[in-house]
Structure 1
Amino acid sequence: MKAWSNLFDTTTNSLLLIFLTSIGIYVAVILYTRIAGKRSFSKMSSFDFAMTVAVGSMIATTILSKSVSLLEGGVGLIMVYGLQLIAATFRRYKWFRQFIDNQPTLLMDGEILLHDNMKAVRVTEGDLRSKLRESNVAKLSEVKAVIFETTGNLVVVHKDHNCPVDDWILKDVKR
């Protein structure tokens, strides 16, 4: 029974500290995001995902841990946002994009399932069928392509017989 009673033990000072730290770190995240841009919380690459997880972890640790001060949490956030800005700058270079970003992968070319590509990105036929249903595909003949994007999303490009898909749309996709 003693363990259960500890669930609600706290002091007024601890609650006040959590309250003030929450406000401070919240304002810092808003300020840093305004400076660094919306890309800070996009899910365009694995680096972007890592940024989101790191910021969330730092916020929680700064708010709830007595061993991390608001100043330390704020400096940690500045570092992570700074790395995000540096990565965004270097993304202009192909070698860096190839190093840091996942490559979109073609999973269906028309009606043809590309099993090797599906295996490489760990997508099952069931996952693919689910996405096709979600995208209102009634027949495989309606599909121009299915792409596993860098974000982890599956995108269905519908075939329109009156309007072919531009090659530019599929330019960076691994075939």
Structure 2
Amino acid sequence: MENVFVIIGRVLILYAVIFIIFRLMGKREIGELSVLDLVVFIMMGEMAVIAIEQHEDPLAHTIIPMVTLMLIQLGLAVISLKSRKFRRLMDGKPTLIINKGKVDEKEMKKIRYNFDDLLMQLRQKDITNIGDVEFAILETSGELSVIKKDKKTKTGSYTIPLILNGKIQTEHLDEVNKDESWLRKELERRGHQDIEQISFCSFQDGKFFIDYDDLKS
């Protein structure tokens, strides 16, 4: 009977510890979890199970590795915020499945994504006609983001970042058929001289959206 109370006590303590750790790691929906998040959560779950089953072992032997994992995850999150290359390494990058109404089968093959997957995710967005879609982007979380064609113009658009954290995104400039020289001239014309101070810049439907990094100003 004593063992039963010990097990119940360990379950309650571990539940509280894991709950606190998950809150400290930040709020994210299940569909938004990265591969790294899933690895950490699975490892913590396994540790908790072992700690409950082997109740003779001190709880500190489980809690210390859990806290260590949390610190590693928080450290990687800070690096991910500062480095886009690291983010892409950890999370991958979104894939453009439908581009201007045309399905990109080459990209689908690269990520082992088929038409059944595409149609299923479109139905989940209440889209029954693939011809209504201007852009479909498979996000790093596995969710499909869809931009429908405008009923009047029969076209659509989506936000593409041209500057992120003070760095010009040349591959995105190629997507909008512009170059770095054009971007710099347009920004200077609008009074934006220091690109390194810009945290986010996009050009959509003929208009710029520019946001400055308050921490650098």
| Counterpart secondary structure, 1:38 | coil
| Deviation, structure 1 residue 145 | 1.5
Q: Give TM-score scaled by structure 1 length.
A: 0.78
The answer to whether structure 1 residue 49 and structure 2 residue 49 are counterparts is no
| Deviation, structure 1 residue 161 | 4.5
Residue of 15, 19, 22 corresponding to 2:8: 19
| Counterpart secondary structure, 2:142 | coil
Bigger strand fraction: 2
Matched residue, 1:153: 143
Structure 1: runs of 5+ lacking an equivalent: 1-11
Structure 2: distance between partners of 1:132 and 1:19? 45
The answer to whether structure 1 residue 83 and structure 2 residue 72 are counterparts is yes
Structure 2: distance between partners of 1:138 and 1:169? 30
Total equivalences in the alignment: 163
Structure 2: runs of 5+ lacking an equivalent: 163-168, 176-217
Q: Give TM-score scaled by structure 2 length.
A: 0.64
Q: Are 2:147 and 2:158, in contact at CA under 8 Å, matched by a contact in 1?
A: no
| Deviation, structure 1 residue 157 | 2.3
The answer to whether structure 1 residue 72 and structure 2 residue 61 are counterparts is yes
| Counterpart secondary structure, 1:117 | helix
Q: Are 2:148 and 2:156, in contact at CA under 8 Å, matched by a contact in 1?
A: no
Bigger helix fraction: 1
Matched residue, 1:9: none
RMSD after superposition: 2.9
Q: Are 2:93 and 2:139, in contact at CA under 8 Å, matched by a contact in 1?
A: yes
| Counterpart secondary structure, 1:72 | helix
Larger relative contact order (Cα-Cα within 8 Å, sequence gap ≥ 6): 1
Matched residue, 2:215: none
5 Å-filtered alignment, 1:134-173, equals 134-161=124-151, 164-168=156-160
